[in-house]
Amino acid sequence: MEDGPCASKEGLVSWKPATRFSSSTTALVGESPIYGRGVQKEELIKILLEGNDSGNQVPIISIVGLGGMGKTTLAKLVYNDNKIKEHFQLEAWVYVSGSFNDVGLTKAILTSFGFSADGEDLNLLQHQLQQKLTGKKYLLVLDDIWNVNAACWEDLILPFNHGSSGSKIIVTTRDKGVEKVLNSKLFDLLQLDKGDCWRLFETHAFHGRNVRDPNLESIGKKIVDKCGGLPLAVKTLGQLLRRKFSEHEWSKILETDMWRLSDEDNNINPVLRLSYHNLPSNHKRCFAYCSIIPKGYEFGKGELIGYWMAEGLLKCCEAYNSEEEFGSEIF
């Protein structure tokens, strides 16, 4: 396949649509409670249900926020809302991430809308997409866009301007520069307040336990304050401390030097760094192995476990009947 003008320098296509064991996102909403996004969800739904005021150009809404802020979660909540399902004739969810290939992205969009996408000719694929969208009111979500070439985007957007009035595109991104390139409406996602952060932490750390320990609760709230209102950080720490349910262990986390390291030191959030360092050693090796897999590559559970086994990372312990079972538990 020839690389289009939007292909990554490595020639890798990082757009691949989500599958069950994909490293990318899907539009499905998990069962865990979601806190602090009700108002913003309704605000975004209101925007999506409004008529177009941008002429022939399909309106684009960019959900912008830091990594771990909950951009994808908010997009999922809106995408799966019944009012949205009833309003739009067609819906598609595509995980983009990194530099994208124009042919690959167009095919992924066609597939997500439920259409066939054969061949590698960009002109034919774009013409097919235009035909399918003409006269239809659609919603397209492009999740996790990192960078956009303005000239390339102008070409890719052309088929979408033939949809029915009221069609919308949602983009999630960390980069406010993307919002400007797309000439989109900015939807700035804010940090969770302290109350919502604590409720999220309680859900994952206490996990149904009816615990009334003032000291443990006091330590927990101080830990949550260090998360800076990032839902992913709060959730990750809650899940970690669920396995270390004591004042001593929680105090160790609160007082660790890792909080003093900024994200810029090695581009790793302190909470995620903490989570990794508290994994068992065999889990760490398996997790670290995943760093050699190209960003955006989709791998199956069995495929990854096979790689771990081939590298000797799953030396079985007595608690498991086989390396496959042990690998499945780690996954």
What is the reported pLDDT for 329?
Answer: 83
SS3 234: helix
Tell me, yes or no, whether 106 and 213 share the same domain: no
Task: Evaluate if residue 256 carries a pLDDT over 80.
Answer: no
Tell me, yes or no, whether 59 and 176 share the same domain: yes
Provide the number of structural domains found in the chain.
2
Residue range 226-230: average pLDDT?
88
Distances (CA, A) of 179 to 25, 39, 166, 173, 218: 21, 22, 20, 8, 40
pTM for this model (two decimals): 0.76
> Within 13 Å, how many C-alpha atoms sit on residue 150's CB side?
6
316-325 pLDDT, tens digit each: 666 777 888 8
Distance from C-alpha of 291 to C-alpha of 210, rounded to nearest angstrom: 39
- Residue ending a domain, among 137, 157, 188, is 188
Tell me, yes or no, whether 62 and 129 share the same domain: yes
Tell me, yes or no, whether 151 and 221 share the same domain: no
Task: Output the domain CATH number for residue 68.
Answer: 3.40.50.300
Task: Evaluate if residue 260 carries a pLDDT over 70.
Answer: no
**Tokens standing for 311?**
């590298």
Minimum mean pLDDT range among 38-52, 229-243, 272-286: 272-286
User: Is position 24 within any domain?
Assistant: no
Tell me, yes or no, whether 240 and 285 share the same domain: yes
Minimum mean pLDDT range among 109-118, 142-151, 196-205: 142-151
Yes or no: say if 136 and 166 are a contact pair by the CB < 8 Å rule.
Answer: no
- Residue ending a domain, among 135, 165, 188, is 188
Q: State the Cα torsion 197-331-20-77 to the nearest 10°.
A: 0
243: domain range?
A: 194-330
User: Is position 293 within any domain?
Assistant: yes
281-296 pLDDT, tens digit each: 888 888 888 888 877 6
Tell me, yes or no, whether 148 and 232 share the same domain: no
Residues contacting residue 132 through CB under 8 Å, at least 6 positions apart: 110, 113, 115
- Residue ending a domain, among 129, 155, 188, is 188
